[in-house]
Amino acid sequence: MAVRITEDCIACNACEPECPNNAIYEADTPYMYGGEEKEALSEEFTYIVPEKCTECVGFYDEPQCIEACPTEAIEMDPDNEESQEELMAKKEKLDEIGRD
């Protein structure tokens, strides 16, 4: 599954540079997917793009953003459950279309 950011976020953005998939964006900032700019998913909180989060599969053993967060504001998203195979397929798609 992808991970998500909760209301415990203090918008420090320590997580953003840790993401190997460029899946984390500041509040009210458009995100990039396949070279296209998309509307921000949150105007209030730092957010994670589910289509770009692989739980760090393909790069690291553990989600890097969760380790970086000082307020434990990042959790697994039960609404976005995916198998290891699905996560790896997502990673490979991002390899093809790019992460910006």
Task: Tell me which residues touch ligand SF4 (CB under 6 A).
Answer: 3, 5, 9-15, 18-19, 21, 23-24, 46, 48, 53-56, 63-65, 68-69, 71, 73-74
- The answer to whether the CB of 52 falls within 8 A of the CB of 21 is yes
Report the residue number, 23 or 82, with the smaller CB distance to ligand SF4: 23
Residue 92: φ, ψ to 5°: -70, -35
User: What tokens appear for 44 in the block?
Assistant: 């209030």
Q: Closest distance between ligand SF4 and the C-beta of residue 18, in Å?
A: 5
Q: Closest distance between ligand SF4 and the C-beta of residue 54, in Å?
A: 5
User: Beta strand 3-5 with 24-25: parallel, antiparallel or unpaired?
Assistant: unpaired
